[in-house]
Amino acid sequence: MITIVGAESSGKTTLAMRLAEYFVCPWVPEYAREYLEGLERAYDEEDLGIMAAQQLAEILAVVNREPSTVSHESSDVRLEMVDPVLPNGLSETLKSLLVTRYSSLVIVDGGMMNMRMWARIKYKTSIPLVEEALENDVTDLYLLCRPLNEWEPDALREAPSIIDRVWIYNQYLEELSKSKINLEIVGSMENEKFNKAVTLIEKLFKTIIKPTA
C-alpha cells in the first residue's frame, strides 16, 4: 500500500489518480471531501472521528478486495477504480502481465496519517481509532508531497498562505521521520513528482517486466 500525504493543495489527489492509472490498480480517495461537501455547516472535532472511521473502512475494503460499495449512515461510497490504460502495440501476454504485476498495489490519498495530522494541528488532539490503525499500519511506502507555490481556491481548504502550508509540510516531515517508516519526499512539480513516485514504487516491488523479442 502506498499512502500519499502532505499539506492541502500539494497535488496528492492528482498524483494518486495518475499512479493508479499507470499501475492499473485501485486507489482510495480522501473521504473528507465527500463528507464535508454534504455537511452544510462548519465541521467540528467530532466530525473528524466520523470521517476517520469511514476512511478506514474504505481503505480496508480495498486492501481486502471487498465489494466496491461500503455502506454508512448518510450514503453509499464507491471506491475508485481506474480502467487499464496501456500502450498500443503490446502483445496480449504483456498486457496481462502489466495488469497483474501490481495486483496487490493500493494507492491511498491521505489515509490515517492525514487524519492524525489534521486532528493534531487543528484541535491539538488525537483520534483513538486513527492511532490504533496507525499502530497496525500496512503502508509499504509514504510519499510526502512538497507544497505547491500556487494555491487553488476551494471552500474546503484552510491554508491559502504558502508559509502556512510549508509549516504543515514540516509537521508531516517531523512526524513521519520520527516514526521510522518508509518515507520518500516527492517534489512540487507535477511531472517530476509523478516520475519519482513511479521509480520509487517500481523499486519497492523489485519486479521488472521486459517485453519478449
Cell of 39: 455537511
> Which of 3-17, 110-124, 152-166 has the least mean pLDDT?
152-166
Model confidence band, residue 139 (pLDDT cutoffs 50, 70, 90): very high
- Provide the whole-model pTM: 0.79
CA neighbours within 13 Å on the CB side: how many for 93? 5
Q: Residue 147, Cβ neighbours under 10 Å: how many?
A: 23
Task: Look at residue 208 in the predicted model and tell me its pLDDT.
Answer: 38
- Name the residue among 120, 156, 117, 139 with its Cα closest to residue 7: 117
Cβ-Cβ contacts under 8 Å for 175 (sequence gap 6 or more): 113, 116, 117
Class of domain 2-205 as given by CATH: alpha beta
Task: Look at residue 40 in the predicted model and tell me its pLDDT.
Answer: 85
Cell of 160: 491559502
Task: Look at residue 211 in the predicted model and tell me its pLDDT.
Answer: 39
Question: For residue 197, how far is the Cα from the chain centroid?
Answer: 12
Q: Measure the CA–CA gap between 25 and 17, rounded to whole angstroms.
A: 10
